[in-house]
Amino acid sequence: DLFKRIRAECFWIGLRNSTSSGWIWEDGSVLSGAKVLFNSPVQNCALLMKDQFHASSCEVPAPWVCEKMLR
């Protein structure tokens, strides 16, 4: 499992809260079929933590999980 190898508890995943569209991915697509857990209106970025999306302040230091297109 990749997450166990990296040994981090949470990861940035490129998901942010847009006031007009709700939660959106970096490519502009809207999050569908999943819920982001949050407890503060200033939490505008989302982390992946234990198989769930958690809202967080965008300044929290955490490693990134990025998608890369295969050629």
Q: Is the pLDDT of residue 5 over 60?
A: no
pLDDT band at 63 (very low <50, low <70, confident <90, very high): confident
Report the chain's mean pLDDT, rounded to a whole number: 84
Please state, in angstroms and rounded to a whole number, the distance separating the CA atoms of residues 47 and 56. 7
Q: Which residue has the higher pLDDT, 5 or 25?
A: 25
Sheet-wide strand order for 45-49: 22-25, 10-18, 45-49, 52-56, 36-37
Average pLDDT over residues 45-59: 91
Q: Does domain 2-56 have CATH number 3.30.1300.10?
A: no
Task: Quick: pLDDT tens for 20-46.
Answer: 889 999 999 999 988 999 888 889 999
In this structure, what DSSP letter does residue 64 have? B
